[in-house]
Amino acid sequence: MKHSVGYRNRTRTLLKKKPRERGLSPINRILRIYEAGEKVVVKIDPSALKGMPHRRFHGKTATVIERRGRAYVVKAHMGGFEKVIIVRPEHIKPLEAK
């Protein structure tokens, strides 16, 4: 039988939360406002289905270009190319300075 090739295929371990993290994420992740040019990390939240980027972008560093409705347009590097993706704020986090 052919394996599933859906949008979330092969994400069993990638999109799994630890037992104490289960459920919805804190509201301050959604309310955070990002400015254009700000660096963010694409970290997919499996409890929020809307505005979820493809799994290939999970863990990538991206730059915010603009806000589009509730979502953000971000630019990420993938294999020598710059990809532009539309992501809701539940799935991005600010890049922490080291």
Strands (E), the chain: 39-42, 61-68, 71-78, 81-87, 92-94
- Cα separation, 8 vs 59, in Å, equals 16
Locate all alpha helices (DSSP H) within 14-58, ordered by sequence. 28-31
Whether the pLDDT of residue 98 is over 70: the answer is no
- How many whole angstroms separate alpha carbon 98 and alpha carbon 50? 31
Q: At residue 69, what is the residue type?
A: G
In tens, the pLDDT along 37-79 reads: 999 999 999 999 999 999 999 999 999 999 999 999 999 999 9
Q: How many CB atoms lie within 10 A of CB 22?
A: 10
For residue 97, the model assigns a pLDDT of 65
> What pTM was computed for the model?
0.89
